[in-house]
Amino acid sequence: MAGKQPDLLLDQTDEAVGYLSNHGDEAAQANMAAIRRKIDWHILPYMFCCYVLQFLDKVMLNYAAVMGIKADLKLVGNEFSNLATYFFVAYLLAEIPNVYCLQKIPAAKWLGGNVFLWGVAAAASAGAHDYRGILVARVFLGIFEATIGPSLMLISSQYYTRSEQAPRFTFWYMGLGVAQILGGIISFAFQHVEHAALSSWRIMFLVLGLVTVVVGALTFFFIPDTPVKAPWLSDSDKVALLQHVSENQTGLWSSSINVKQIGEAVLDVQLWLLTLITILISVSSGVVTTYSATLIAGFGYSGPISALLNTPSGLVSIFFTLLVGYGIRTFSHRWAWNILCTIPGIIGGGLMSFLPKSNIAGVLMGIYLVNAVVATLPILYQWTMANCAGHTKRAFASALVAGSFSVGNIIGPQTFQARDAPEYHPAKISVLATQAAGALLSVVLFLYYKWMNRRRDREQGSLDRSMVDETKWAGLTDKQNPFFRYAY
């Protein structure tokens, strides 16, 4: 028997609704392939550059560790680990106002402004003279970088359908792997700066910070607030695009805050499973981001060589990121691709944990393989955007998952305790255990989505296509919309 049909009204606060009501007859024969190419060329380069720089500005601390920052700033004990930890504490706390700001300010504007400001914070790190100084700079860097994940998730969901989002998430997230390669090369280059007034790591922070400031300004002015404000799309292009992405049933953007949607999100099982998986997998990310160069230097390599030996990590990240982007677009089954990426992470954690330090090649291979887990984050980001509907709920969900990424990165560096040097066995074993747990919960999430979809099929019976069309711009959450089906 069919389920009860909801009483539906168009969500007049959604920007797309107003635009379609005034331009509904202009779509004609639109070429979506051409429109997609136009969108890709106009927004993806900025998104990619932002993600490259957010990782570079964050991971420079990793390379500065082999460039003399510990000695220059007289860092002792766990102070270096604390720099990484407090960065992510600030990152986590900043996600709370992010929910509000992303609801009130267009994601593109909020992103560009924050990129500009974290560039200032990164450049300011060059002026630190003690632990307190660098700690303050890192805290502000964490505050401003906190918006990168939620903003890019929301921008991507405005322009692409659920299946189209996967390769686009892959493209901008591939910036992480590119940044790993560039970071090693940049660190190597700056370590050969001699007879300068500033230490090489200070010059590196200053230059990268100023580059970030420029990219932030460009992002602010050149990524449109929403598709309907894109000057490079014609009216017919905009109508065709809005009708195309309406199949997501998630809406476009609204500045109206719905408190009930936040309450629903807090009680949503899928969000907490996504959160737990992200935390578990991000423990390894925290280890890779902060300590990979230190682990390699532990084999006796010099600072410049340690930086270069870290670059293959980026190749592993890029390969697996491209693999899952293609795989999800072609075969779907995000849960299986998530597990696939944790398998090399588990193997890498095992090699790092149980091989003797004398087996340099084997342990290096372990460090590189762990980087496969970074490809799980775009899966989790895209999964969140595909399965959370409702303007406020989507903003809350994006901030929650991005915040859980920071929780994992808080835990990761803290597994590196000074008393465990130089082997750091507890930290290495934590990489192994968290990857295995993340893979297991991915299966649980898959089974939950299958169960929810089957239950809705039973309750709804045969779908009334006209009713499905009405829900596209009704502003309903995935829980409220009986026609919504979860992607897995």
- In this prediction, residue 73 carries a pLDDT of 92
Q: Are 353 and 428 in contact (CB under 8 A)?
A: yes
Q: What is the 3-state secondary structure (H, E, C) of 257-284?
A: CCHHHHHHHHCCHHHHHHHHHHHHHHHH
Longest Cα–Cα distance of the chain, Å, equals 80
Q: Which two tokens stand for residue 442?
A: 């991915």
The CA–CA distances, whole Å, from 277 to 33, 284, 408 equal 34, 12, 10
| Separation of alpha carbons 444 and 194, rounded Å | 55
Q: Note the pLDDT tens digit of each residue in 130-141.
A: 999 999 999 999
Reduced to 3 states, what is the DSSP secondary structure of residue 61?
A: helix
- pLDDT band of 256, cuts 50, 70, 90: confident
Q: Can you give the residue ranges of every domain in the chain?
A: 15-471
Cβ neighbors of 293 (< 8 A, separation 6 or more) are 62, 63, 65, 66, 187, 306, 307, 310
Q: Note the pLDDT tens digit of each residue in 261-275.
A: 999 999 999 999 999
- pLDDT band of 468, cuts 50, 70, 90: low
The verdict on pTM exceeding 0.85 is: no
Q: Are 407 and 279 in contact (CB under 8 A)?
A: yes
User: Among residues 146, 424, 441, which one has the least CA distance to residue 275?
Assistant: 441
- pLDDT band of 155, cuts 50, 70, 90: very high
| Separation of alpha carbons 452 and 361, rounded Å | 46
- Which homologous superfamily does the CATH classification assign to the domain defined by 15-471? MFS general substrate transporter like domains (1.20.1250.20)
| Separation of alpha carbons 188 and 311, rounded Å | 11
pLDDT for residue 459 is more than 90: no
Q: Note the pLDDT tens digit of each residue in 10-49.
A: 555 567 666 777 775 555 567 888 999 999 999 999 999 9
| Separation of alpha carbons 105 and 278, rounded Å | 26
Q: Which two tokens stand for residue 178?
A: 């590119």
Greater confidence (290 vs 359) lies with: 359
What is the total residue count of the chain?
488
332: alpha, beta or left, given left = phi > 0 and alpha = psi -120 to 50?
left
| Separation of alpha carbons 220 and 156, rounded Å | 16
Written as one string, the DSSP assignment of 331-387 is: H--HHHHHHHHHHHHHHHHHHHHHS-TT-HHHHHHHHHHHGGGGGHHHHHHHHHHHH
Peptide bond just before 6 cis, omega within 30 deg:
no
The CA–CA distances, whole Å, from 486 to 202, 389, 456 equal 48, 10, 10
| Separation of alpha carbons 125 and 123, rounded Å | 5
Q: Are 8 and 471 in contact (CB under 8 A)?
A: yes
How many Cα atoms are found within 13 Å in the side-chain-facing hemisphere of 392?
Answer: 17
| Separation of alpha carbons 90 and 41, rounded Å | 33
Q: Are 227 and 159 in contact (CB under 8 A)?
A: yes
Cβ neighbors of 421 (< 8 A, separation 6 or more) are none
Q: Are 281 and 434 in contact (CB under 8 A)?
A: yes
User: Among residues 56, 186, 100, which one has the least CA distance to residue 391?
Assistant: 100
Q: Note the pLDDT tens digit of each residue in 157-186.
A: 889 988 888 888 889 989 988 988 888 888
- pLDDT band of 453, cuts 50, 70, 90: very high
The CA–CA distances, whole Å, from 38 to 44, 159, 230, 237 equal 10, 11, 11, 10
pLDDT for residue 461 is more than 70: no
Percentage, residues of the chain above pLDDT 90:
33
Written as one string, the DSSP assignment of 401-432 is: HHHHHHHHHHHHHHT--GGGTTT-HHHHHHHH
